[in-house]
Structure 1
Amino acid sequence: MAAKKKEVALQMNISSQELWEEMLCLKGLIVVDAFQAWCGPCKTVVDLFRKIRNEVGSHLLHFAVAEVDSIDALAEYRGKSEPVFLFYAEGELVATVRGLNAPLLQKTILEQLAVERKITEHGGEHVEVINH
């Protein structure tokens, strides 16, 4: 009987400043669902993230959920009631999407991933982009 393939978690769970700093060292684009304990991470985007991962299959694309109450670097997002998605590359914030807007979220992921691929292949620097 064949062994069942172990499913790899789609999103990393970041619950401390130490884990946050480790995550920022990852190569590629990191999409972070920044949430507060009282409302939890946005569950409706998991299917979107899975769909994008399946379509692009990139080793340069990572997803994470991060509790803002336990991470000093995310203090400015505490007390907000709307979902916030933060995009990091090489430890730098490169984009932000506020609110749950699936088309905008998908567009931003694909655009930022294209930038990351270009920088990886041809060099260049990341630039912080617009906050949506």
Structure 2
Amino acid sequence: MPPKKQQELQVTVKSQEQFYELLSGKKLSIVDIHLTWCGPCTLVSSTFRSIAMKIEEWDSRLQFLIVDSSLVPDISHHQASCKPKFLFYLGPKLIGEVSGVNVPKLQQMINRYIPGLDSE
């Protein structure tokens, strides 16, 4: 039996249209907004992985989106410095944000807003 294909942890958004398409579902979306030249901003994959691995059926309840703020003009105003910023969306609605890689605050926001297992 071949090994099970590993679920992709994060989606790199390539356009504003793709961004809004991804937000159209019922998942909690954690959007890592940054500029591609910002080294610290691009190193959060391990943080996403450690958060996701603690959540039952995470892939049906939340998604991690990586967005270069220059590619999605509608959210570029959220990126004011070379510091990661995370926007939280429930469907298309912006519900919160966290500045910097503050893992306890990220986890708190996820726990607060993640849809339940039965909210299909």
Q: Which residue of 1 aligns with 2:61?
A: 60
Cα RMSD (Å): 2.2
* Count of aligned positions: 117
- The 3-state SS of whatever aligns with 2:11 is strand
1:89 partner letter: L
Q: Which residue of 2 aligns with 1:27?
A: 26
Query: How far apart in 2 are the matches of 1:51 and 1:21?
Result: 26
- The 3-state SS of whatever aligns with 1:69 is coil
Residue ranges of structure 2 left out of the alignment (5+ in a row)? none
State the TM-score, normalizing by the size of structure 1: 0.77
Task: Trace 1:31-110 onto structure 2 (pairs within 5 A).
Answer: 31-39=30-38, 41-43=41-43, 45-57=44-56, 58=58, 59-110=60-111
Q: Could you tell me whether the CA contact under 8 Å between 1:33 and 1:66 is conserved in 2?
A: yes
| Per-residue deviation, 1:48 | 2.8
1:100 partner letter: V
State, as a whole percentage, how many aligned pairs show the same letter.
31
Q: Could you tell me whether the CA contact under 8 Å between 2:14 and 2:67 is conserved in 1?
A: yes
| Per-residue deviation, 1:79 | 4.5
| Per-residue deviation, 1:88 | 0.2
Q: Could you tell me whether the CA contact under 8 Å between 1:69 and 1:78 is conserved in 2?
A: no
Instruction: Work out which structure has the larger RCO, using CA pairs closer than 8 Å and 6 or more positions apart in sequence.
Output: 2
State the TM-score, normalizing by the size of structure 2: 0.84
| 1:25 to 1:73, Cα distance in 2 relative to 1, 3 A | same
